[in-house]
Structure 1
Amino acid sequence: MMYFVYILYSISKNKYYVGSCEDIAKRLAKHNTNHAGFTGKTGDWTVKHTEQYTNKADALKREKQIKAWKSRVMIEKLINKI
């Protein structure tokens, strides 16, 4: 089983969202449904970046690392591979 760290972007919110999962397509569909929470209501989230890991612990560690940056600039550098 593979695990993924992903970064989504919403045009309407002009925000990024960082998460991890086993199935990116299924998770993206969930983010784009009308639900309570940060990703709910917009329905325009798109995948901007993914990383693949062989175990969940490594994926969660990387997700927490990216979230700890608290930096749009760093996220955009990662996405753009600068």
Structure 2
Amino acid sequence: MYSVYVLHSKKENKLYIGFTANLKRRIEDHSKGKVNVTRNWLPLVFIYAELYANKKDALQRERFFKTGWGRQYLNKILVNTLKNFSSSKI
């Protein structure tokens, strides 16, 4: 199973979009500062994930989320979640 996930940085008030084949391990790696990109963004909060049986589908979805249209989509479906984090936008 493959996952596309979204994390929120309380410190930076930013969202991080990622892909993994092991969601639990990857979230732990982020939380422990083992991921260079988010190391200085701690603490992080897991706010969203989508699961895929096919790796190619998951990677395609991750790429979409990192586009302007994908960011608009995430802001729309996570509107109430993002309200909890003040002015957080992707």
TM above 0.5, one fold? yes
How high is the sequence identity, in percent, across the aligned residues? 31
> Please, which runs of 5 or more residues in structure 1 have no aligned partner?
none
> Please, which runs of 5 or more residues in structure 2 have no aligned partner?
81-90
> Whole-Å Cα distance in 2 between the matches of residues 8 and 33 of structure 1?
14
Higher helix share: 2
> Whole-Å Cα distance in 1 between the matches of residues 71 and 59 of structure 2?
19
How far the C-alpha of 1:24 sits from its partner, in A, is 1.4
> Whole-Å Cα distance in 2 between the matches of residues 47 and 35 of structure 1?
16
* RMSD, aligned CA: 2.3
Match of 1:33 in 2: 32
Match of 2:22 in 1: 23
> Whole-Å Cα distance in 1 between the matches of residues 64 and 52 of structure 2?
14
Runs of 4+ in 1 over 6 A off after TM superposition: none
Q: TM-score w.r.t. structure 1 length?
A: 0.80
Between 51-60 and 61-70, report the one with greater CA deviation: 61-70
How far the C-alpha of 1:53 sits from its partner, in A, is 0.5
Deviations 1:57-81 (A, max 9, x none): 0000000000012775542223248
What is the number of equivalent residue pairs in this alignment?
80
